Amino acid sequence: MEKRTYKRRNHSGLGIVLGGFTSLLFVLLFNVGCSVKGEITPAPDKEEEEPSDQLVEGVDYFLPHIDLNNWKVTLPIGNPTEVKPPEILNYGNLEILKEFMYNDSIDGSLVFYTYPGASTRNSSYSRTELREQMVPGSNNTNWTFAEGGRMKGTLSVPEMSKDSDGKFHRAIIMQIHGRLTNAQRDLIGEDDNNAPPVLKIYWVNGRVRVKTKELKDLDASATEILHTSAWTDDDGHYFAEEVGHNKFTLEVKVSEGRMEVILNNTETIVYDGIHMEKWGVFENYFKAGNYLVTTEEGAFSKVKYYDLEISH
Protein backbone atom coordinates (compact mmCIF):
# COMPACT_ATOMS: atom_id res chain seq x y z
CA MET A 1 0.00 0.00 0.00
CA GLU A 2 1.30 3.43 -0.95
CA LYS A 3 2.20 5.57 2.03
CA ARG A 4 0.50 8.93 1.76
CA THR A 5 0.53 11.93 4.02
CA TYR A 6 -2.14 14.59 3.91
CA LYS A 7 -1.51 17.89 5.57
CA ARG A 8 -3.41 21.12 5.90
CA ARG A 9 -1.08 24.02 6.53
CA ASN A 10 -2.45 27.04 8.30
CA HIS A 11 -0.45 30.24 7.93
CA SER A 12 -1.76 33.21 9.91
CA GLY A 13 -0.19 36.40 11.18
CA LEU A 14 -1.12 38.48 14.16
CA GLY A 15 -2.09 41.93 13.05
CA ILE A 16 -2.45 44.64 15.64
CA VAL A 17 -4.64 47.49 14.56
CA LEU A 18 -4.23 50.68 16.45
CA GLY A 19 -7.14 53.00 15.95
CA GLY A 20 -7.79 56.44 17.13
CA PHE A 21 -9.72 59.52 16.39
CA THR A 22 -8.09 62.66 15.15
CA SER A 23 -10.13 65.82 15.23
CA LEU A 24 -9.74 67.88 12.14
CA LEU A 25 -10.71 71.51 12.06
CA PHE A 26 -11.60 72.90 8.69
CA VAL A 27 -11.84 76.66 8.49
CA LEU A 28 -13.64 78.01 5.52
CA LEU A 29 -12.36 81.39 4.57
CA PHE A 30 -14.32 83.56 2.29
CA ASN A 31 -12.33 86.29 0.65
CA VAL A 32 -14.95 88.34 -0.93
CA GLY A 33 -13.59 90.99 -3.21
CA CYS A 34 -16.01 93.36 -4.69
CA SER A 35 -15.21 95.41 -7.71
CA VAL A 36 -16.43 98.91 -8.23
CA LYS A 37 -19.50 97.39 -9.90
CA GLY A 38 -20.15 95.11 -6.89
CA GLU A 39 -19.14 91.82 -8.62
CA ILE A 40 -17.68 88.92 -6.58
CA THR A 41 -14.24 87.78 -7.71
CA PRO A 42 -14.38 83.97 -8.30
CA ALA A 43 -11.85 81.66 -6.54
CA PRO A 44 -9.25 80.07 -8.84
CA ASP A 45 -10.04 76.58 -10.15
CA LYS A 46 -8.62 73.71 -8.11
CA GLU A 47 -6.24 71.41 -9.99
CA GLU A 48 -7.48 67.84 -10.56
CA GLU A 49 -5.67 65.26 -8.43
CA GLU A 50 -3.69 62.56 -10.20
CA PRO A 51 -5.01 59.00 -9.66
CA SER A 52 -3.07 57.21 -6.91
CA ASP A 53 -3.16 53.68 -8.40
CA GLN A 54 -1.02 53.91 -11.50
CA LEU A 55 -0.64 50.85 -13.72
CA VAL A 56 2.85 49.44 -13.96
CA GLU A 57 5.05 47.10 -16.06
CA GLY A 58 5.33 47.77 -19.79
CA VAL A 59 3.14 50.83 -19.28
CA ASP A 60 -0.37 49.54 -18.91
CA TYR A 61 0.23 46.05 -20.24
CA PHE A 62 1.50 42.93 -18.47
CA LEU A 63 3.34 39.80 -19.60
CA PRO A 64 3.50 36.30 -18.10
CA HIS A 65 6.66 35.32 -16.23
CA ILE A 66 7.46 32.15 -18.16
CA ASP A 67 10.75 31.17 -19.78
CA LEU A 68 9.90 28.98 -22.78
CA ASN A 69 13.47 27.98 -23.61
CA ASN A 70 12.90 24.47 -22.20
CA TRP A 71 9.33 23.87 -23.38
CA LYS A 72 7.65 22.73 -26.58
CA VAL A 73 3.89 22.99 -27.12
CA THR A 74 1.47 20.45 -28.63
CA LEU A 75 -1.66 21.79 -30.39
CA PRO A 76 -5.06 20.18 -31.14
CA ILE A 77 -4.48 20.46 -34.89
CA GLY A 78 -2.39 18.62 -37.47
CA ASN A 79 -1.00 15.24 -36.55
CA PRO A 80 -0.83 16.90 -33.95
CA THR A 81 1.23 20.05 -34.52
CA GLU A 82 4.17 20.87 -32.24
CA VAL A 83 6.19 24.07 -31.85
CA LYS A 84 9.63 23.68 -30.25
CA PRO A 85 12.41 26.00 -29.13
CA PRO A 86 13.65 28.30 -30.52
CA GLU A 87 10.50 28.95 -32.62
CA ILE A 88 8.23 28.92 -29.56
CA LEU A 89 10.11 31.91 -28.12
CA ASN A 90 8.44 34.03 -30.81
CA TYR A 91 4.98 32.62 -30.06
CA GLY A 92 3.26 36.00 -30.17
CA ASN A 93 4.11 36.36 -33.85
CA LEU A 94 3.45 32.78 -34.99
CA GLU A 95 0.17 32.57 -36.91
CA ILE A 96 -0.30 28.88 -36.04
CA LEU A 97 -0.28 29.66 -32.30
CA LYS A 98 -2.49 32.75 -32.23
CA GLU A 99 -5.71 30.82 -31.56
CA PHE A 100 -4.25 28.41 -29.04
CA MET A 101 -1.43 30.10 -27.10
CA TYR A 102 -1.35 33.85 -26.58
CA ASN A 103 -0.87 36.60 -24.01
CA ASP A 104 -3.65 38.25 -22.05
CA SER A 105 -1.90 41.57 -21.45
CA ILE A 106 -4.59 42.78 -19.04
CA ASP A 107 -3.84 40.22 -16.32
CA GLY A 108 -0.36 39.14 -17.45
CA SER A 109 -1.18 35.54 -18.30
CA LEU A 110 -0.30 33.07 -21.04
CA VAL A 111 -3.58 31.60 -22.30
CA PHE A 112 -3.85 27.98 -23.43
CA TYR A 113 -7.03 27.33 -25.44
CA THR A 114 -8.08 23.94 -26.75
CA TYR A 115 -11.00 21.87 -28.08
CA PRO A 116 -11.48 18.27 -29.26
CA GLY A 117 -9.32 17.75 -32.33
CA ALA A 118 -6.00 16.11 -33.09
CA SER A 119 -4.59 13.86 -30.35
CA THR A 120 -1.26 12.22 -29.65
CA ARG A 121 -0.64 8.54 -30.38
CA ASN A 122 -1.40 7.23 -26.88
CA SER A 123 -4.47 9.38 -26.16
CA SER A 124 -7.90 10.14 -27.59
CA TYR A 125 -7.97 13.65 -26.09
CA SER A 126 -6.65 16.95 -27.41
CA ARG A 127 -4.44 19.51 -25.77
CA THR A 128 -2.63 22.80 -25.92
CA GLU A 129 0.08 21.72 -23.52
CA LEU A 130 3.74 22.40 -22.78
CA ARG A 131 6.23 19.53 -22.61
CA GLU A 132 9.55 20.01 -20.82
CA GLN A 133 12.70 19.71 -22.91
CA MET A 134 15.87 19.74 -20.81
CA VAL A 135 17.80 20.14 -24.06
CA PRO A 136 15.80 22.67 -26.13
CA GLY A 137 14.30 21.06 -29.22
CA SER A 138 14.97 17.45 -28.10
CA ASN A 139 12.95 14.86 -26.15
CA ASN A 140 15.92 12.59 -25.54
CA THR A 141 17.28 14.08 -22.29
CA ASN A 142 15.03 13.60 -19.27
CA TRP A 143 15.36 13.08 -15.50
CA THR A 144 14.82 10.41 -12.86
CA PHE A 145 13.36 10.67 -9.38
CA ALA A 146 16.87 10.14 -7.99
CA GLU A 147 17.96 13.27 -9.86
CA GLY A 148 14.87 15.11 -8.64
CA GLY A 149 12.82 17.99 -9.97
CA ARG A 150 10.50 20.84 -9.04
CA MET A 151 7.72 22.59 -10.94
CA LYS A 152 5.74 25.55 -9.63
CA GLY A 153 3.06 27.56 -11.41
CA THR A 154 0.34 30.12 -10.77
CA LEU A 155 -2.69 29.55 -12.95
CA SER A 156 -6.46 29.74 -13.32
CA VAL A 157 -9.18 28.02 -15.33
CA PRO A 158 -11.45 30.93 -16.32
CA GLU A 159 -13.52 29.07 -18.92
CA MET A 160 -14.65 25.45 -19.17
CA SER A 161 -17.48 24.06 -21.27
CA LYS A 162 -20.23 21.86 -19.82
CA ASP A 163 -21.54 18.48 -20.87
CA SER A 164 -25.12 17.62 -21.82
CA ASP A 165 -25.98 17.22 -18.12
CA GLY A 166 -24.78 20.72 -17.32
CA LYS A 167 -21.61 19.54 -15.58
CA PHE A 168 -18.21 21.09 -16.27
CA HIS A 169 -15.80 19.14 -18.41
CA ARG A 170 -12.37 18.32 -16.92
CA ALA A 171 -8.86 19.35 -17.86
CA ILE A 172 -5.42 18.15 -16.83
CA ILE A 173 -3.38 21.21 -15.89
CA MET A 174 -0.07 19.62 -14.79
CA GLN A 175 1.63 16.24 -15.30
CA ILE A 176 4.76 14.23 -14.74
CA HIS A 177 5.06 11.78 -17.60
CA GLY A 178 7.23 8.68 -17.63
CA ARG A 179 9.56 7.75 -20.47
CA LEU A 180 11.45 4.61 -21.42
CA THR A 181 15.11 4.85 -22.30
CA ASN A 182 16.02 3.45 -25.69
CA ALA A 183 17.52 0.39 -23.98
CA GLN A 184 14.32 -0.21 -21.97
CA ARG A 185 12.19 0.24 -25.08
CA ASP A 186 14.19 -2.36 -26.97
CA LEU A 187 14.24 -4.73 -23.99
CA ILE A 188 10.44 -5.02 -23.87
CA GLY A 189 9.95 -4.81 -27.64
CA GLU A 190 8.06 -1.50 -27.76
CA ASP A 191 8.12 0.73 -30.81
CA ASP A 192 8.15 4.02 -28.89
CA ASN A 193 9.50 5.42 -25.61
CA ASN A 194 6.14 6.01 -23.98
CA ALA A 195 5.68 5.12 -20.30
CA PRO A 196 2.70 5.97 -18.04
CA PRO A 197 2.22 9.40 -16.43
CA VAL A 198 3.04 9.07 -12.73
CA LEU A 199 1.21 12.31 -11.93
CA LYS A 200 -1.89 13.96 -13.34
CA ILE A 201 -3.37 17.08 -11.74
CA TYR A 202 -6.93 17.87 -12.83
CA TRP A 203 -9.27 20.83 -12.61
CA VAL A 204 -12.61 19.19 -11.79
CA ASN A 205 -15.67 21.36 -11.17
CA GLY A 206 -13.61 24.06 -9.49
CA ARG A 207 -11.48 21.73 -7.40
CA VAL A 208 -7.99 20.28 -7.81
CA ARG A 209 -7.66 16.51 -8.05
CA VAL A 210 -4.40 14.56 -7.95
CA LYS A 211 -3.94 11.09 -9.44
CA THR A 212 -0.87 8.87 -9.49
CA LYS A 213 0.12 5.34 -10.54
CA GLU A 214 0.37 2.17 -8.48
CA LEU A 215 2.09 -1.07 -9.38
CA LYS A 216 -0.43 -3.90 -9.76
CA ASP A 217 2.00 -6.60 -8.61
CA LEU A 218 4.66 -5.55 -6.11
CA ASP A 219 6.57 -8.74 -6.94
CA ALA A 220 6.82 -7.88 -10.64
CA SER A 221 10.33 -8.17 -12.06
CA ALA A 222 12.47 -5.21 -13.11
CA THR A 223 11.57 -5.95 -16.72
CA GLU A 224 7.85 -6.49 -16.12
CA ILE A 225 7.38 -3.10 -14.43
CA LEU A 226 8.52 -1.37 -17.62
CA HIS A 227 5.22 -2.26 -19.31
CA THR A 228 2.40 0.29 -19.14
CA SER A 229 0.02 -2.58 -18.34
CA ALA A 230 1.92 -3.23 -15.07
CA TRP A 231 0.58 0.04 -13.61
CA THR A 232 -2.90 1.22 -12.63
CA ASP A 233 -4.48 4.46 -11.39
CA ASP A 234 -4.87 5.11 -7.69
CA ASP A 235 -8.20 6.34 -6.25
CA GLY A 236 -7.14 9.98 -6.54
CA HIS A 237 -7.12 12.80 -4.02
CA TYR A 238 -9.17 16.02 -3.94
CA PHE A 239 -7.72 19.03 -2.17
CA ALA A 240 -10.22 20.56 0.25
CA GLU A 241 -9.94 24.12 -1.02
CA GLU A 242 -12.22 25.08 -3.89
CA VAL A 243 -10.33 27.20 -6.42
CA GLY A 244 -13.23 27.79 -8.83
CA HIS A 245 -12.19 30.06 -11.68
CA ASN A 246 -9.79 32.01 -9.48
CA LYS A 247 -6.00 32.16 -9.54
CA PHE A 248 -4.16 29.47 -7.53
CA THR A 249 -0.65 28.08 -7.13
CA LEU A 250 0.52 24.48 -7.55
CA GLU A 251 3.94 23.16 -6.63
CA VAL A 252 5.29 19.67 -7.39
CA LYS A 253 8.46 18.44 -5.72
CA VAL A 254 10.13 15.14 -6.60
CA SER A 255 13.08 13.34 -5.03
CA GLU A 256 14.18 9.71 -4.79
CA GLY A 257 11.17 7.60 -3.78
CA ARG A 258 9.06 10.67 -3.00
CA MET A 259 6.56 12.97 -4.72
CA GLU A 260 4.78 15.93 -3.11
CA VAL A 261 2.01 18.19 -4.47
CA ILE A 262 1.18 21.47 -2.71
CA LEU A 263 -1.86 23.72 -3.30
CA ASN A 264 -1.58 27.40 -2.36
CA ASN A 265 1.06 26.54 0.25
CA THR A 266 -1.76 25.40 2.57
CA GLU A 267 -2.52 21.79 1.60
CA THR A 268 -0.12 19.04 0.62
CA ILE A 269 -0.18 15.38 -0.31
CA VAL A 270 2.95 13.23 -0.16
CA TYR A 271 3.53 9.90 -1.92
CA ASP A 272 6.57 8.12 -0.49
CA GLY A 273 5.87 4.38 -0.38
CA ILE A 274 6.86 1.33 -2.38
CA HIS A 275 5.16 2.49 -5.60
CA MET A 276 7.29 5.65 -5.74
CA GLU A 277 10.41 3.59 -5.02
CA LYS A 278 9.59 1.25 -7.90
CA TRP A 279 8.85 4.20 -10.19
CA GLY A 280 12.52 5.19 -9.94
CA VAL A 281 13.28 2.93 -12.93
CA PHE A 282 11.72 5.45 -15.37
CA GLU A 283 12.88 8.72 -16.84
CA ASN A 284 10.41 11.61 -16.56
CA TYR A 285 9.47 15.05 -17.84
CA PHE A 286 7.12 17.81 -16.66
CA LYS A 287 4.03 18.96 -18.56
CA ALA A 288 1.79 22.01 -18.00
CA GLY A 289 -1.10 23.59 -19.83
CA ASN A 290 -4.55 22.58 -21.01
CA TYR A 291 -5.32 18.91 -21.70
CA LEU A 292 -9.09 18.70 -22.23
CA VAL A 293 -10.52 15.37 -21.09
CA THR A 294 -13.49 15.03 -23.44
CA THR A 295 -14.24 14.44 -27.11
CA GLU A 296 -17.74 15.92 -26.89
CA GLU A 297 -18.62 18.17 -29.81
CA GLY A 298 -18.56 21.86 -28.92
CA ALA A 299 -16.37 21.37 -25.84
CA PHE A 300 -13.54 23.80 -25.11
CA SER A 301 -11.42 25.07 -22.24
CA LYS A 302 -9.11 27.95 -21.37
CA VAL A 303 -6.28 27.69 -18.86
CA LYS A 304 -4.18 30.70 -17.91
CA TYR A 305 -0.63 30.52 -16.57
CA TYR A 306 0.76 33.67 -14.91
CA ASP A 307 4.11 32.15 -14.00
CA LEU A 308 5.74 28.75 -14.41
CA GLU A 309 9.18 27.54 -13.40
CA ILE A 310 11.05 24.24 -13.30
CA SER A 311 14.36 23.23 -11.75
CA HIS A 312 16.47 20.11 -11.28
Strand 258-263 and strand 71-74: pairing?
Answer: unpaired
Residue 8: which pLDDT band, with cuts at 50, 70 and 90? low
Q: Identify whether 184 is part of a domain.
A: yes
Q: Identify whether 246 is part of a domain.
A: yes
* pLDDT score for 11: 47
Q: Identify whether 101 is part of a domain.
A: yes
Q: Identify whether 53 is part of a domain.
A: no
Residue 119: which pLDDT band, with cuts at 50, 70 and 90? very high
Answer with the residue of higher pLDDT: 38 or 79. 79
* pLDDT score for 33: 41
Q: Is residue 82 over pLDDT 50?
A: yes
Cα gap 138→157, rounded to integer Å: 29
Q: What is the pLDDT of residues 155-191, one digit of tens each?
A: 999 999 999 999 999 999 999 999 999 999 999 999 9
Cα gap 151→133, rounded to integer Å: 13
How many domains, in total, are found in the chain? 1
Global pTM? 0.83
Cα gap 214→233, rounded to integer Å: 6
79: domain CATH number?
Answer: 2.60.120.200
Residue 122: which pLDDT band, with cuts at 50, 70 and 90? confident
Q: What is the pLDDT of residues 26-56, one digit of tens each?
A: 333 334 343 433 444 444 454 444 444 676 5
Q: Identify whether 51 is part of a domain.
A: no
Q: Per-residue pLDDT averaged across 57-82, rounded? A: 90
Residue 1: which pLDDT band, with cuts at 50, 70 and 90? low
Q: Identify whether 49 is part of a domain.
A: no
Q: How many percent of the chain have pLDDT more than 90?
A: 79
164-169 long-range CB contacts below 8 Å, 24 or more apart? 164/296, 167/205, 168/204, 168/205, 168/206, 169/292, 169/293, 169/294, 169/296, 169/299, 169/301
Domain limits for position 99: 4-8+63-311
* pLDDT score for 22: 39
Among candidates 97, 47, 108, which has minimal Cα distance to 71? 97
Residue 59: which pLDDT band, with cuts at 50, 70 and 90? low
* Amino acid sitting at position 5: T
* pLDDT score for 208: 98
* pLDDT score for 16: 35
* pLDDT score for 54: 73
Answer with the residue of higher pLDDT: 120 or 95. 95
CB 285 within 8 A of CB 141: no
Q: What is the overall mean pLDDT for the chain?
A: 87
Q: Identify whether 222 is part of a domain.
A: yes
Residue 277: which pLDDT band, with cuts at 50, 70 and 90? very high
Q: Identify whether 199 is part of a domain.
A: yes
CB 290 within 8 A of CB 99: no
Which DSSP category does 42 fall into?
P
Residue 197: which pLDDT band, with cuts at 50, 70 and 90? very high
* pLDDT score for 163: 95
Q: Is residue 200 over pLDDT 70?
A: yes
